[in-house]
Amino acid sequence: MSWNKFQNDLIHGQVGEEIIGRFLLRNGHTHVNYYSLKSYDIRAINRAHNKVYYEVKTDMYEVYKGRTGNIFLEWRCSNKPSGLQTTSADWFVYYLPIDSEAWFAKPDTLRGLIKAGAFSPYYGAGDGERVFSYLLNRYEFRQHFFIHKIPTDLNNILMKK
């Protein structure tokens, strides 16, 4: 992977996290903090005054390459656990700027579906083809997600980058 592509992906990911953070603030969360850690990206306080942790993934592939209908779930990188396998977040958020949607799911739900063999394994993605992941057809498994529309003013922050 070229340095420029990595930097571009990193910027899109960080902007996606900011958009989801702003969305959370508009929907009753307070004290949104951004961390971009291996275990979670955002910590927020919900309406019940509890800390809630979010892992956010921003899908720019469909913006640049075309629609796939898939959600990409990273599992390992360089033969080390990563992505969904290592997050301790309460919520996994897959942000789809092309559709102005954020798909929220419990990580344990997705891990259970992986364990049950529900998703197709995918070898050789990103980071010099060192990523092992699963592809989830989002339309087939939409019942496992809470799908939220992202307001146009927030979505446009990323789409203009």
Give the pLDDT confidence of 31-49 residue by residue, as tens digits: 999 987 789 999 999 999 9
User: What is the mean predicted confidence (pLDDT) over 14-23?
Assistant: 94
Q: For domain 3-159, give the CATH number.
A: 3.40.1350.10
For 107-148, what is each residue's pLDDT tens digit? 999 999 999 999 989 887 766 677 889 999 999 999 999 999
What's the whole-model pTM score?
0.90
Could you tell me which residue, 61 or 104, shows the higher pLDDT?
104
pLDDT beyond 60 at 78: yes
Q: Of the candidates 94, 83, 93, 70, which has an alpha carbon nearest to the alpha carbon of residue 132?
A: 83
152-159 and 3-26 helices cross at what angle (nearest 10)? 170
Amino acid, res. 121: P
Distance of CA 12 to the CA centre of its chain: 11
Would you kindly state where each structural domain of the chain is located, as residue ranges?
A: 3-159
Q: Of the candidates 30, 29, 95, 90, which has an alpha carbon nearest to the alpha carbon of residue 56?
A: 95
Residue 61 exposure: Cα atoms within 13 Å on the Cβ side? 11
- Percent of the chain having pLDDT more than 90? 63
